């Protein structure tokens, strides 16, 4: 062991000693604070003298309560802070730091050694930094520069200087295993070791190997929109999660995890990335799928198809031409403009309403509501006319209510009241007349008052629906777009889409069953919001959208309107755009349209790290312009394509391959199928494989081991070894990207099987 290595181990030992000392102090502090919290809770009311005899006594009681509550809040906050810091220090016990820069600031002669880790660490005196947080301004030099002139941004301005040296360390449990003096791309040596290892059921944060382009993403702070377009395995999602951690660090006084939301592909993916932020000592932000939001807003009115059911239908149904045409039109910017124009045209004609009914009796007909709505001057804003119509309807119901007081049905309902219901009505009316609890028995209830109360209660749900604008026939209004060809022709201002009559037929038929195709859900909700007024969320400050190539213009527009003050980070890969609506999309122009060029920055990640060089060289041939994807120089076995005669041979070969891979030490092995239907079939045929797991759209979390999974669910997840169940089914151009997505999940080993002739995508030109 050379002298330099010994000196660095001595430095590690000193840092470990400081970590242990601070942990010891924090453990005592956390224990004491926990005891304080329990003590305050136990004796809370002992410390407060409750007296409400006079106003002064009452005021004194309130002040006492407030003081005790504040003391409890302070103790709880201090305990939480100590526990959180203790958690970070426990992680630092394993890897205290991973890098160092020797930096000479301009105008200074002394060179400072800056050690970088997952969190900052001060010396025992609290005067000097032993370790800088990887998110600190000076740490950006580690990621962005090779030895030579360097600079970094601080709130006070730019600091210039000279980067003398850059070191990388591999430390585990306080033992220095290796160190590198590097002027190469950051992380090459350590990155080789990290990527060469296995994976588990969670994505992990590897801040030691952040690349320069990834660092740009993490620290980006200009404009409202950051678009990250990156190849499969380029680290988009990892950089996004680290960006969340960076934002929470930089804006810790004005931003918390609850003000950040991640739109992710599915619940399984949410579970897969759930460990990254806690590893960095931060709370997880809100995670939701767009489908969950659609369900939240529309599931009371419709049964909504989810995107995977839509894709499954297209993958497993023979005649899909009409559906494909419908999806492509309804997800287009053209249809988005139609919806906006349609809403404007409704100000002149076309609004549909529902009869206001009570006990199978019409109070106001739909035709009367329409006549009233259009009786207002068109100069009056649309939502004001709706508001006036709503108030008019409530007045009509009020008049109707008075007429119902003496109807025979009211007397019948009174006689059917239970003793409990009668007593509740009696007490309510007595209190309304001014009788208190002690004198309520003196009240003599008049029959007509009980009749009025009963009618009022019966009409309450109807009034509530009117107040919520449920008298508008939203389904009919949307349906009108597909039943009135002249209207659509006028709104489009161009030729109708191909197969228009067939599109109209399947749309109307589905709506009649109170169902919504996935491609209709967002346009319908956008239309509904434009008519009724948008529900906005002003508390969210940052939005992250992963797998953004799978979002339609409608969804982007809707998210922007829903979170009007939020900044947005969008991550995607056009080569993995597996949904039909994305077949014609080659860029994120729609985002530029929404935010403007000056508010938008695009960062491209061309280098792929997940897979070995042979796997990347194999998979990039599957897509147009794949030559632009740059493989990281990590050696490995060539992918293998094996042709089998039939399914029986296929299943025998897969079982043998899984055993072979297990013998090599692989713990995450994915058997990737084209669809859920094929996955179910494969799983049932391979149940002899020990502990095999079938992953479905409904699976709440990602399970590690030998899994059978549809290609579209595997997106965003990586596996040590991938077996493509049957490559011969990937023949049509529409599934090329799905095939590419499936193959790029492999880190170390890619085995493809083909029953009969392999996919044409595997034929080299």
Q: Which residue numbers belong to the known binding site for ATP?
A: 230-237
Return d(Cα 180, Cα 187) in angstroms, integer.
10
Provide the H-helix boundaries in 95-219.
Answer: 140-144, 188-195, 212-219
Report yes or no: 482 and 504 within 8 Å, Cβ to Cβ: yes
CA dist 569 and 243 (Å) reads 9
- The H or E element spanning position 726 is none
Q: Do residues 84 and 99 make contact, with C-beta atoms less than 8 angstroms apart?
A: no
Task: Extract the annotated binding site.
Answer: 230-237
Spacing of C-alpha 464 from chain mean position: 33
What 167-170 contacts at long range (C-beta under 8 Å, 24+ apart), as own/partner pairs, is 167/99, 167/100, 167/101, 167/102, 168/98, 168/99, 168/208, 169/8, 169/97, 169/98, 169/99, 169/100, 170/98
Which tokens is 350 given? 């076309």
Q: 662: Cβ–Cβ under 8 A, 6 or more apart, which residues?
A: 669, 706
Rounded Cα–Cα distance for residues 726 and 758 (Å): 8
Contact call for residues 215 and 223 (beta carbons, < 8 A): no
**Smallest Cα–Cα separation from 351: which of 450, 478, 251?**
478
| CA dist., res. 129 & res. 102, Å (int) | 14
Alpha carbon of 592 to those of 137, 550, 555, 641: distances in Å? Answer: 30, 17, 14, 42
Give 291-303 as a DSSP string. Answer: HHHHHHHHTTT-E
Q: What is the C-alpha to C-alpha distance for residues 544 and 571, in angstroms, rounded to an integer? A: 8
What are the φ and ψ backbone dihedral angles of 227, each rounded to 5 degrees?
-110, 125
Strands (E), 561-633: 567-572, 600-605, 607-608, 630-631
Q: How far apart are CA 382 and CA 524, in angstroms?
A: 18
Q: What is the DSSP letter of 421?
A: H
């293998």: which residue's tokens?
640
């Amino acid at each position: 062991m050379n002298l330099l290595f010994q000196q660095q181990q001595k430095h590690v030992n000193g840092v470990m000693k400081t970590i242990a000392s601070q942990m010891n102090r924090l453990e005592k502090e956390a224990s004491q604070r926990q005891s304080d919290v329990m003590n305050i809770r136990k004796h809370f009311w002992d410390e407060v003298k409750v007296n409400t005899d006079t106003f002064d006594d009452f005021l004194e009681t309130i002040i006492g309560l407030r003081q005790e509550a504040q003391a409890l809040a302070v103790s709880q906050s201090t305990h939480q802070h100590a526990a959180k810091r203790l958690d970070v220090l426990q992680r630092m016990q394993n890897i205290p730091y991973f890098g160092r820069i020797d930096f000479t600031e301009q105008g200074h002669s002394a060179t400072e050694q800056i050690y970088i880790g997952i969190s900052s660490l001060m010396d025992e005196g609290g005067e000097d930094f032993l370790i800088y947080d990887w998110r600190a301004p000076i740490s950006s030099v580690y990621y962005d520069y090779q030895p030579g002139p360097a600079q970094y941004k601080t709130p006070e301005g730019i600091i210039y200087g000279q980067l003398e040296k850059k070191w990388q360390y591999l430390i585990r449990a306080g033992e220095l295993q290796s160190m590198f003096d590097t002027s190469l791309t950051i992380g090459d040596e350590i990155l080789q070791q990290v990527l060469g290892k296995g994976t588990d059921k969670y994505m992990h944060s590897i801040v030691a190997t952040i690349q320069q382009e990834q660092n740009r993403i993490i620290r980006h702070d200009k404009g409202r929109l950051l678009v990250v377009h990156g190849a499969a395995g380029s680290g988009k999602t990892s950089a996004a999660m680290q960006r969340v951690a960076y934002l929470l660090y930089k804006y810790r006084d004005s931003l918390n995890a609850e003000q950040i939301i991640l739109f992710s592909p599915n619940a399984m993916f949410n579970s897969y990335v759930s460990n990254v932020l806690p590893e960095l000592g931060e709370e997880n932000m809100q995670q939701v799928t767009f489908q969950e939001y659609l369900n939240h807003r529309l599931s009371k009115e419709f049964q909504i198809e989810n995107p995977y059911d839509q894709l499954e239908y297209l993958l497993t149904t023979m005649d899909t031409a009409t559906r494909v045409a419908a999806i492509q039109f309804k997800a287009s910017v053209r249809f988005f403009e139609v919806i906006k124009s349609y809403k404007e045209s409704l100000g002149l004609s076309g609004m549909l309403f529902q009869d206001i009914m009570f006990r199978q009796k019409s109070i106001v007909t739909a035709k009367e509501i329409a006549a009233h709505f259009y009786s207002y001057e068109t100069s009056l804003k649309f939502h004001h006319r709706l508001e006036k119509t709503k108030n008019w309807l409530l007045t009509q119901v009020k008049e109707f209510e008075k007429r119902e007081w003496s109807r025979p049905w009211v007397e019948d309902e009174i006689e059917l009241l239970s003793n409990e219901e009668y007593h509740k009505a009696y007490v309510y009316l007595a209190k309304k007349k001014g009788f208190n609890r002690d004198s309520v028995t003196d009240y003599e209830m008049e029959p007509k008052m009980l009749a009025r109360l009963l009618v009022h209660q019966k009409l309450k749900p109807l009034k509530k629906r009117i107040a919520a604008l449920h008298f508008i026939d939203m389904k009919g209004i949307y349906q009108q777009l597909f039943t009135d060809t002249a209207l659509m022709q006028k709104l489009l201002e161009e030729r109708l889409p191909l197969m228009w009559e067939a599109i109209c037929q399947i749309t109307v038929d589905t709506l009649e069953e109170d169902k919504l195709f996935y491609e209709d859900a967002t346009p319908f909700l956008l239309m509904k919001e434009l008519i009724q007024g948008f529900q906005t969320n002003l508390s969210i400050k940052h939005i992250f959208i992963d797998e953004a190539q799978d979002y339609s213009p409608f969804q982007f527009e809707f998210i922007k309107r829903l979170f009007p003050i939020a900044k947005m980070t969008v991550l995607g890969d056009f080569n993995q755009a597996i949904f039909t609506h994305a077949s014609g999309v080659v860029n994120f122009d729609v985002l530029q349209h929404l935010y403007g060029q000056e508010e938008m920055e695009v960062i491209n990640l061309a280098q792929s790290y997940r897979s070995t060089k042979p796997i990347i060289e194999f998979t990039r041939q599957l897509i147009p312009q794949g030559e632009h994807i740059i493989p990281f120089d990590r050696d490995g076995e060539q992918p293998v394509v094996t042709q089998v005669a039939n399914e029986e041979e296929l299943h025998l070969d897969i079982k043998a391959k899984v055993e072979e891979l297990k013998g090599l030490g692989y713990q995450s092995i994915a058997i990737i199928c084209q669809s859920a239907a094929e996955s179910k079939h494969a799983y049932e045929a391979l149940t002899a494989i020990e502990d095999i797991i079938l992953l479905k759209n409904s699976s709440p979390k990602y399970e590690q081991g030998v899994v059978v999974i549809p290609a579209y669910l595997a997106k965003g997840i990586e596996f040590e070894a991938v077996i493509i169940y049957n490559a011969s089914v990937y023949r049509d151009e529409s599934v090329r990207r799905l095939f590419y997505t499936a193959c790029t999940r492999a880190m170390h080993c890619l085995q493809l099987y083909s029953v009969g002739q392999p996919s044409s995508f595997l034929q080299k030109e």
